[in-house]
Amino acid sequence: AQKVTQAQTEISVVEKEDVTLDCVYETRDTTYYLFWYKQPPSGELVFLIRRNSFDEQNEISGRYSWNFQKSTSSFNFTITASQVVDSAVYFCALSDLSSGSARQLTFGSGTQLTVLP
Protein backbone atom coordinates (compact mmCIF):
# COMPACT_ATOMS: atom_id res chain seq x y z
CA ALA A 1 0.00 0.00 0.00
CA GLN A 2 1.14 3.53 -0.64
CA LYS A 3 2.21 5.85 2.14
CA VAL A 4 3.37 9.45 2.41
CA THR A 5 5.35 10.71 5.39
CA GLN A 6 5.86 14.33 6.29
CA ALA A 7 7.94 14.13 9.41
CA GLN A 8 7.92 17.87 10.10
CA THR A 9 4.69 18.72 11.85
CA GLU A 10 5.43 22.41 12.33
CA ILE A 11 8.13 24.75 11.07
CA SER A 12 8.64 28.40 11.97
CA VAL A 13 10.95 30.70 10.07
CA VAL A 14 11.55 34.41 9.92
CA GLU A 15 10.60 36.22 6.75
CA LYS A 16 13.21 36.02 3.94
CA GLU A 17 14.66 32.77 5.25
CA ASP A 18 14.69 29.71 3.01
CA VAL A 19 12.75 26.67 4.20
CA THR A 20 12.56 23.08 2.99
CA LEU A 21 9.58 20.83 3.59
CA ASP A 22 10.35 17.12 3.51
CA CYS A 23 8.26 14.39 1.94
CA VAL A 24 9.06 10.68 1.81
CA TYR A 25 6.81 8.24 0.02
CA GLU A 26 6.33 4.50 -0.32
CA THR A 27 4.85 2.72 -3.31
CA ARG A 28 5.32 -0.57 -5.10
CA ASP A 29 4.46 0.89 -8.46
CA THR A 30 7.01 2.12 -10.97
CA THR A 31 4.53 4.62 -12.35
CA TYR A 32 3.20 7.14 -9.91
CA TYR A 33 2.60 10.84 -9.45
CA LEU A 34 3.60 13.13 -6.63
CA PHE A 35 1.88 16.35 -5.69
CA TRP A 36 2.21 19.28 -3.36
CA TYR A 37 -0.81 21.22 -2.16
CA LYS A 38 -1.04 24.34 -0.03
CA GLN A 39 -3.84 24.87 2.47
CA PRO A 40 -3.95 28.49 3.68
CA PRO A 41 -5.92 29.48 6.78
CA SER A 42 -9.01 29.97 4.62
CA GLY A 43 -9.08 26.18 4.16
CA GLU A 44 -9.04 25.53 0.43
CA LEU A 45 -6.51 23.15 -1.12
CA VAL A 46 -4.36 24.86 -3.71
CA PHE A 47 -2.53 22.71 -6.25
CA LEU A 48 1.17 23.59 -6.50
CA ILE A 49 2.88 20.91 -8.54
CA ARG A 50 2.58 17.44 -10.03
CA ARG A 51 5.59 15.28 -10.88
CA ASN A 52 5.55 11.85 -12.52
CA SER A 53 7.91 9.08 -11.54
CA PHE A 54 9.81 9.15 -14.82
CA ASP A 55 10.80 12.77 -14.59
CA GLU A 56 13.46 13.40 -11.99
CA GLN A 57 14.35 16.87 -13.13
CA ASN A 58 14.12 19.42 -10.41
CA GLU A 59 11.62 22.16 -11.00
CA ILE A 60 11.65 25.81 -10.09
CA SER A 61 8.68 28.13 -10.15
CA GLY A 62 9.47 31.56 -8.84
CA ARG A 63 10.41 31.19 -5.18
CA TYR A 64 9.30 27.56 -5.15
CA SER A 65 11.50 24.61 -6.08
CA TRP A 66 11.10 20.87 -5.85
CA ASN A 67 13.74 18.18 -5.51
CA PHE A 68 12.60 14.71 -6.59
CA GLN A 69 14.96 11.83 -5.77
CA LYS A 70 13.75 8.33 -6.57
CA SER A 71 16.79 6.77 -4.92
CA THR A 72 15.62 8.05 -1.53
CA SER A 73 11.88 8.14 -2.35
CA SER A 74 11.75 11.80 -1.50
CA PHE A 75 10.04 14.81 -3.03
CA ASN A 76 11.11 17.85 -1.05
CA PHE A 77 9.77 21.37 -1.45
CA THR A 78 11.84 24.50 -0.88
CA ILE A 79 10.58 28.04 -0.53
CA THR A 80 13.27 30.65 -0.93
CA ALA A 81 13.02 34.09 0.62
CA SER A 82 9.88 33.10 2.50
CA GLN A 83 7.07 35.59 2.98
CA VAL A 84 4.33 35.89 5.57
CA VAL A 85 1.79 34.91 2.91
CA ASP A 86 3.51 31.53 2.62
CA SER A 87 2.16 30.63 6.05
CA ALA A 88 -0.06 27.62 5.49
CA VAL A 89 -0.25 23.88 5.84
CA TYR A 90 1.53 22.10 3.02
CA PHE A 91 0.58 18.60 1.96
CA CYS A 92 2.52 16.12 -0.09
CA ALA A 93 0.44 13.49 -1.88
CA LEU A 94 0.91 10.37 -3.99
CA SER A 95 -1.19 8.81 -6.72
CA ASP A 96 -0.21 5.39 -8.04
CA LEU A 97 -1.77 2.49 -9.88
CA SER A 98 -2.16 0.14 -6.92
CA SER A 99 -5.85 0.98 -6.87
CA GLY A 100 -6.28 0.06 -10.52
CA SER A 101 -7.57 2.79 -12.77
CA ALA A 102 -8.61 4.95 -9.87
CA ARG A 103 -6.59 8.06 -9.28
CA GLN A 104 -7.17 8.94 -5.68
CA LEU A 105 -4.52 10.72 -3.70
CA THR A 106 -2.82 9.50 -0.56
CA PHE A 107 -1.87 12.50 1.53
CA GLY A 108 0.81 13.02 4.10
CA SER A 109 -0.13 14.49 7.45
CA GLY A 110 0.92 17.97 6.41
CA THR A 111 3.49 20.50 7.61
CA GLN A 112 2.31 23.70 9.23
CA LEU A 113 4.62 26.47 8.05
CA THR A 114 4.59 29.76 9.93
CA VAL A 115 6.55 32.65 8.52
CA LEU A 116 7.13 35.37 11.08
CA PRO A 117 7.54 39.03 10.06
Partner 1 sequence: DSGVTQTPKHLITATGQRVTLRCSPRSGDLSVYWYQQSLDQGLQFLIQYYNGEERAKGNILERFSAQQFPDLHSELNLSSLELGDSALYFCASSGTGKSWTEAFFGQGTRLTVV
Binding site for partner 1 (CB under 8 A): 33, 35, 37, 43-45, 47, 50, 52, 91, 95, 99-107, 109-110
CB of 18 to partner 1, least distance (A): 26
- Extended beta strands in 46-87, E state: 46-52, 59-61, 64-69, 74-79
Torsion sign, CA atoms 109, 69, 58, 105? negative
Residue whose CB is less far from partner 1, 25 or 82: 25
CB of 113 to partner 1, least distance (A): 16
Residues 33, 17: Cα–Cα separation, whole Å: 29
Q: Which amino acid is at 51?
A: R
Residue whose CB is less far from partner 1, 87 or 95: 95
CB of 15 to partner 1, least distance (A): 27
Residues 41, 114: Cα–Cα separation, whole Å: 11
Residue whose CB is less far from partner 1, 17 or 55: 55
